[in-house]
Amino acid sequence: MADIFPSLGYFHALHLLKNNLSRLILAVRNVKKGNDVKQSMLTKVPNFKETIEIWQIDLADFESVKAFAGCVNRELDRVDIFVANTGIAAETWRITKDGYQEVLQINVIATGLL
């Protein structure tokens, strides 16, 4: 499979897996796409099938961010590495349901909230 996810976050996560990371949680907005990324990673690092988990989060929705943070608090003893590799550059001006401009909320506010 060709690298169809050529993002910095993808290659960072792949590097961590290749260096014996014990558990990787991919925080994704779209679970199906997250599973596609997981499958791509497993073709490159097949020994770590049980370490890659897909957790849903939508930074354009504060309730989703809070729910994700709640899962982290409940299910993890600690977080050793956190790679915040999200961001958008929108051509149109949109307001989220939380009342903020979408780029500002996703790139700045929700990351800080998390």
For 29-81, the pLDDT digits (tens) are 999 999 999 998 889 888 776 789 999 999 999 999 999 999 999 999 999 98
pTM, two decimals, is 0.86
Nearest partner of 37 among 22, 21, 17, 65, judged by Cα: 17
Query: Averaged over 3-29, what is the pLDDT?
Result: 83
Nearest partner of 9 among 1, 17, 59, judged by Cα: 17
CATH of 8-113, one of 3.40.50.300, 3.40.50.720, 3.90.245.10, 3.40.1260.10: 3.40.50.720
For 88-100, the pLDDT digits (tens) are 889 999 999 999 9
